[in-house]
Amino acid sequence: MNVTLRLKILFMVGIITLASLLGCILLIYNARVIGNSLRLETENHIKALIGRNAERIESAMLLMERNADDLATAGEAFFAICKATDQDITEQIKEYLVNNFKKLPRAIGGGLWYEPYVLFDKKRHYGPYVYRENDQVFFTWDLNTTTYDYHNQAWYRLAIPKEWDRAEERPLRIYWTDPYFDEAATKALMITVDALMHDQQGILIGLSTVDFSLEDLKEMVARMTVTPNSLPFAVDLSSGLLISFPADPSKVLRRIDDLDWGKELEQVKNVRPGEVVVNPLSLHGNNFLLFYTVTRTGTALGILAPYEELYAHINELNRSNMYTAFIVIFVQIILYLLIAVFMVRRICNPISKLTDVAQEIAEGDLTGASKSLAIIEHSSPSDKDETGRLLDAFQGMNKNLKALFGQVQRSGTQVASSSTQIAASSRQIEATISEQATSTNQASVSSKQISATASALADTMNEVATAASETADLAGSGQAGLEEMEMSMQGVLDGTESVSARLEEIKENALGIGSIVSTITRVADQTNLLSLNAAIEAEKAGEYGLGFSVVAREIRRLADQTSVAVLDIEDMVNRMEASVSAGATEMDAFSRKVSSAVDKINKTGKQLDGIMERVRTLPPRFETVNEGMEAQSQSAGQISETMNNLNIITQNTLEALREFNLAAEYLREAAQDLQDEVSRFKVS
């Protein structure tokens, strides 16, 4: 798959974005966990608060019960004293009650209440009562009226119902009344604790009361406020009445069932004392948490706390966490996008453009590449970062490539023209060598002729020698043979002329050889010159000229051999010419002497003796001539042999030249290939 750098960068930026997103989500989750534990902590704190206050209320109410019990015991004692001594113990009771209630600040009132006529036969009502007002304890008999008739009050009838047989045992010793408003004495909201009194026979004689002010309870409950709008409350379970509600005192003594949140307390009967229950509930669209517990004394105590307010700080913390996280994510994404855009602009775009340029260079369009480079440089900022330097490097490379290929093209053209020139030169040499071969053949033929002529000459000389001998013999045999001798002399003369003519021919042929030799020398010289220049060109052509320079060296060696051979020929020809010249001179002298001899023979036979003497001197001279001829014949044979060698050398030279031609052709082809290769690059 073809994934561009741009996609890779975007992919990486995307992954980094996702990772930071994940990190933020983890932070939010962590904050939530901390928030939850804080919430639990808050709930535990509230539960502990409620539990503590429930214990306090419980202990306060138990104290009331115990006090009522103590008061009842005291009332029984007073009854026994009264029956035994028949004294009026009213003052003692009064003192006892005042002292007792001074020690019990939580009770706002209390008293001893006897059944009708049990203490004094004449007194239907006997209920001494003390009450608390402004931290002072006051004694009163105000409740011993027939109009109030305490025996028929609800708080009394709860403990001792009407028409109850006094001898019969009541199921409980202590009774708690429902909360009520005391209109008679204290004018306060209260709960009364009744404790039954019995005489020694176990017959009911009355009861003692301790009044527990709900104002005190209210103070205790009000202390449980946890947030400004949280609503602490206390409920009397036996009656189902709300006994304390500091937030709205007007709701006190109303049935809890009538309140919209009160129904939630239905489960309260299943709650064990000391256990704090938390119930979430929704009222009028607001969420609340309801905490409550019960005491052993039958009071339910709780707080109705608005959810939002309770967890306001935690929620605020969560929200600010969330907002911070979102802002961080947003800023990160923007930064990553900026980075991505920057990288794409500064790295991907220049690289992709430069890749196009590299493609152009690869295709050989150097001119197009330099145009593209100029456009890129114009369009991108001139920062000297890596891409800027890459661009510079590309420009430098393109420039150098252009220069290089221009140079290579020119060099290729030069090599091609040189090779063409070399090929032409070698063809020229070939022609010259062919010419040389022809000349050599001619020389060979000429030398053969010389050889033949020399042989013939030698034969003739032998004949002359024979004739001379005969002449001598004839001269020796007598004057009679003078005529014959004259004839013979004439033959000698003719032969001598013939020798002279042939010598002339040899001289001419030798001259011909001289001119051929100088032609060969010139050709060898030109060959040497050409091979020298070819070697120099080959050196310049470098690697392409290696094989070529070997051939050039070979040709030069052959040319040098030719030169040596030619020098030998020149030498021999010179020697031959000298021999011929010497022969000719001798021949002239001989000829002249023969002529004078013939003349003398013709004029006088008397000088025969002299002639004979002279004829006798001839043979040694013939020997000299003969020797010259022999040497000449031998030289001609050597020339012929040398010519053959020369011919072989020339053949070799021709072959070498063909190879040379071939090498020049290869060089030309290589140069052509080079030109073709290089012409792909447009440099202008």
Partner 1 sequence: MLVLLFYLGDVMYTMKCEKVREVAPLVKLKEMPHTPDYFAGLFNYRGVIVPVIDLRTLIQGRPCEMRLSTRIILVDYVRDDNTPYILGLMAERVTEAVKKSEDDFVSPGLSMQEAPYLGGFVMENKEMIQHIDLDLLQNSFKFLPMLEGGNNVPDDD
Closer CB to partner 1, 108 or 433, in the complex: 433
Q: How far is the CB of 610 from partner 1 (least distance, A)?
A: 56
Q: How far is the CB of 565 from partner 1 (least distance, A)?
A: 15
Closer CB to partner 1, 248 or 539, in the complex: 539
Q: Which stretch binds partner 1 (CB under 8 A): 41-49, 58-66, 408-416, 493-501?
A: 408-416
User: Whose structure tokens read 């006051």?
Assistant: 138
Two tokens, residue 50: 């409620």
End-to-end CA distance of the chain: 38
Within 580-639, which residues bind partner 1 (CB under 8 A)?
A: none
Two tokens, residue 67: 């006090």
Q: How far is the CB of 668 from partner 1 (least distance, A)?
A: 15
Backbone dihedral angles phi then psi of residue 228, each to the nearest 5 degrees: -55, -40
**List of residues 6+ apart from 263 with CB closer than 8 A:** 257
Closer CB to partner 1, 496 or 528, in the complex: 528
Q: Which stretch binds partner 1 (CB under 8 A): 138-146, 181-189, 358-366, 407-415?
A: 407-415
Q: Which helix (H) or strand (E) holds 39?
A: helix 5-85
Q: What's the number of CA atoms in the CB half-sphere (13 Å) around residue 405?
A: 20
C-alpha distances (whole Å) from 374 to each of 314, 382, 395, 553 are 63, 12, 9, 52
Closer CB to partner 1, 309 or 560, in the complex: 560
Bridge-based pairing state of the strands 180-181 and 241-244: unpaired
Q: How far is the CB of 386 from partner 1 (least distance, A)?
A: 38
Within 280-319, which residues bind partner 1 (CB under 8 A)?
A: none
Closer CB to partner 1, 395 or 413, in the complex: 413
Q: How far is the CB of 671 from partner 1 (least distance, A)?
A: 12
Within 505-564, which residues bind partner 1 (CB under 8 A)?
A: 521-522, 525-526, 528-529, 532-533, 535-536, 539, 549, 556, 560
Closer CB to partner 1, 345 or 410, in the complex: 410
Closer CB to partner 1, 275 or 539, in the complex: 539
User: Whose structure tokens read 């003739």?
Assistant: 460
**Contact at 8 Å (CB) between 426 and 662?**
no
C-alpha distances (whole Å) from 17 to each of 3, 11, 28 are 20, 10, 16
- DSSP H stretches of helix in 344-385: 349-363, 366-379
Closer CB to partner 1, 432 or 579, in the complex: 432
Closer CB to partner 1, 42 or 528, in the complex: 528
Q: How far is the CB of 653 from partner 1 (least distance, A)?
A: 16
Size (the chain), residues: 684
Q: How far is the CB of 639 from partner 1 (least distance, A)?
A: 22
Q: How far is the CB of 444 from partner 1 (least distance, A)?
A: 24
Q: How far is the CB of 560 from partner 1 (least distance, A)?
A: 7
Closer CB to partner 1, 328 or 532, in the complex: 532
User: Whose structure tokens read 């260079």?
Assistant: 361
**List of residues 6+ apart from 646 with CB closer than 8 A:** 440, 520, 562, 565, 566, 569
For 205-251, the three-class secondary structure string (H helix, E strand, C coil) is EEEEEEEEEHHHHHHHHHCCCCCCCCEEEEEECCCCEEEECCCCHHH
**Contact at 8 Å (CB) between 531 and 559?**
yes
DSSP 447-516: HHHHHHHHHHHHHHHHHHHHHHHHHHHHHHH-GGGHHHHHHHHHHHHHHHHHHHHHHHHHHHHHHHHHHH
Q: How far is the CB of 416 from partner 1 (least distance, A)?
A: 9
Q: How far is the CB of 602 from partner 1 (least distance, A)?
A: 57
Within 245-284, which residues bind partner 1 (CB under 8 A)?
A: none
Closer CB to partner 1, 218 or 556, in the complex: 556
Q: How far is the CB of 522 from partner 1 (least distance, A)?
A: 7
Two tokens, residue 509: 């042929």
Residue 298 CA to residue 318 CA, distance in Å, equals 40
Q: Which stretch binds partner 1 (CB under 8 A): 120-128, 130-138, 409-417, 505-513?
A: 409-417
From the list 153, 186, 287, 413, which residue makes contact with partner 1 (rule: CB under 8 A)?
Answer: 413
Q: How far is the CB of 540 from partner 1 (least distance, A)?
A: 8
Within 414-453, which residues bind partner 1 (CB under 8 A)?
A: 414, 417
Amino acid of residue 419: S
Closer CB to partner 1, 428 or 602, in the complex: 428
Closer CB to partner 1, 539 or 571, in the complex: 539
**List of residues 6+ apart from 336 with CB closer than 8 A:** 13, 16, 17
Give the total of residues touching partner 1 (CB under 8 A): 18
Q: Contact positions toward partner 1, by CB under 8 A?
A: 410, 413-414, 417, 521-522, 525-526, 528-529, 532-533, 535-536, 539, 549, 556, 560
